[in-house]
Structure 1
Amino acid sequence: MGLEGKELEELYLRQYSGAVEENRLFYTKANETEFILTKHYIHKYLKPGAKVLDVGAGCGVYTKALADEEFNVDAIDLHPDNVSRMKELFRDRQNINVFQGNALDLRDFSDDTYDLVLELGPIYHLENVQERVAAIKEAVRVARKGAPIFVAFVLQDAPLIEYIFQSENPAEEINEIGYERDTAFVTDNTGSSILLHTIASIDELTDKVLTTLPVSKGPRFAQDGLSQVIREAVNNMSEDSYTEWIQYLIATAERPDLMGYSNHVVQIFIKN
């Protein structure tokens, strides 16, 4: 049985205290692939002067990157540590506004305002389909017609391989999580506020969104591909080899046969 409601939020606040997200995407080459591929897809949609809403912005990694390219960015996060850190980092930036708030309630943001909405964190911290759809509904509401909404998920199998089967004692570690051996499903990501998905569960949520919200289906792409599964090899690549690896990830990002082994996946919705 997984955590619910208030318990899940409290675990999230503990897990992400101290602004731990600030450097996560740059710890290693394997980690940075997520940032590089996501920016590649963002640039397919943004035009000069675009206005962006970064929901669940963490410590503002994407906020900063887009503001550095002279886009106007509003960043919102639930965690007070993240909000404080962003306000410190961006206090002199005229094209960044920072807010504390919840992805489920964007009442302070007007309808039809943003040219791009990023929702790269909130969905996998929400406990049920109803809340996930509600968060996406809010993102759609504030997006302009034709604007993309990037919704990220964490898949189960890359972390399962990385943290369990590549550990020193997989047989022991696997008993520390909720795990169905017959199906190889992770039923409880014990000790974490991150709720894990499969491609099938993303499909189910996508279908729900498409039938209830005024959006059409855009591309779905793997943010980091196999990078975490083979992270030791990726981290030891020369710069030239790493460039080739990034090109491989871009070329294969939408291939369904590889997507299930990515750590993170983004489904893009386009507001009708």
Structure 2
Amino acid sequence: MPGCGSLWRSIAAVERYYDSTAEEEDRRLFKDAYHMLEFIVCMHYITKYLPEKARVLDVGCGSGVYAVELMKAGCSIALVDLSLKLLKLARSKVRRLKLAGRELCVAKGSSTNLMFRSSCFDAVLCFGPMYHLIHEVHRDMTAREIHRVLKHGGVAFISGISLFGVYGEVVKRWPERLLDESHREMFEKGVHRAEWYEPGSAIFTDAYFWKPLELKEYMESFGFETLELAACEGIVTHLDEQVNAISRDREKWSKLLELVMRTSNDPSIVGYTEHFIWVGRKL
């Protein structure tokens, strides 16, 4: 096992990354139609399984993109993130949209050690932390904490970045890196350590890229039953230019969304997507 300093240094690196890219991250899901697919698909599955007026923990809340949508629907949300700059943006949204009072708290914190009592949430959103924890001990801590704070029968929503989707992204954008020895651990084990690269050359901050079925089986081992495993970009993974072009035609865009949603939880599709969502119930 890595030393204590090495373990927490990775989490600190992720915090610095999002502090430095907060404005960009705030816009990411809405920068174009292709990126919106992640938001659209995730909201579909959240809406499908979230109880009305639920008490929700959004850990890794970012700038509050999902939290404000759930507040609008009448949920009470606790927002937690590593990045103070993202939390500042989240607070601003809550005020601007006149949602004050529906946030239980907006607090800096880590998914590895949640500051809430046991069995106090109807649902937990964990969109981000599970694909930034490169050390297994931190993933284990996060899974246990999600299980702990959920009520019996509560629902967890966890996002992942697919290792197979990353393969395709490298081929499309950085084919020269197929021969880069520093990518070996990423290709073989799904671990991307930003510190191994020259400044500005890493494809992301520290990240753990999952095989979707791996995440499903992993969460089941911590006392959850799987309700859904679904692709976000799915059948149009890596086809950003084509998707954005289609989105300019309302009829074609509507048909494409129908196809993406209809096939999103097909096991044949999930593996190759860029982003995916796992939904599970606490046993």
* TM beyond 0.5: yes
Q: How many residue pairs align between the two structures?
A: 264
Distance 1:4 1:249, change over 3 A: farther
Q: How far has the Cα of 1:173 moved from its partner? A: 7.0
Distance 1:185 1:143, change over 3 A: closer
Q: Which residue of 2 aligns with 1:215?
A: 224
Q: Which residue of 2 aligns with 1:160?
A: 167
**Preserved CA contact (<8 Å) 1:133 1:205:** no
Distance 1:122 1:184, change over 3 A: closer
Percent identical residues: 25
RMSD (Å), alpha carbons: 2.6
* Distance in 2 separating the partners of 1:84 and 1:76: 11
Distance 1:189 1:251, change over 3 A: farther
Deviation track 1:241-266 (CA, whole Å, cap 9, x = no partner) reads 12211111111111121112211112
**Preserved CA contact (<8 Å) 1:178 1:186:** no
- SS of the aligned residue for 2:152 comes to coil
- Structure 1 unaligned runs (5+)? none
Q: Which residue of 1 aligns with 2:272?
A: 261
**Preserved CA contact (<8 Å) 2:50 2:155:** no
- Structure 2 unaligned runs (5+)? 195-201
Identify the range of structure 1 (186-195 vs 11-20) with the bigger mean alpha-carbon deviation: 186-195
> For residues 73-152 of structure 1, what are the structure 2 equivalents within 5 Å?
73-91=77-95, 92=98, 93-96=100-103, 97-107=105-115, 109-152=116-159
- Among 34, 37, 62, the alignment partner of 1:33 is 37
Q: Which residue of 2 aligns with 1:235?
A: 244
Q: How far has the Cα of 1:84 moved from its partner? A: 1.8
Q: How far has the Cα of 1:143 moved from its partner? A: 1.2
Q: Which residue of 2 aligns with 1:225?
A: 234
More helix by share: 2
Letter of the 1:263 partner, please give it. Answer: E
Which structure ranks higher in relative contact order (CA pairs < 8 Å, sequence separation ≥ 6)? 1
Distance 1:135 1:196, change over 3 A: closer
* Distance in 1 separating the partners of 2:210 and 2:129: 17
Q: How far has the Cα of 1:156 moved from its partner? A: 2.5
Q: Which runs of 4+ in 1 moved over 6 A?
A: none
Letter of the 2:41 partner, please give it. Answer: L
Q: Which residue of 1 aligns with 2:199?
A: none
> For residues 30-69 of structure 1, what are the structure 2 equivalents within 5 Å?
30-69=34-73
> For residues 172-187 of structure 1, what are the structure 2 equivalents within 5 Å?
175=180, 178-179=183-184
Q: How far has the Cα of 1:71 moved from its partner? A: 1.5
Distance 1:251 1:263, change over 3 A: same
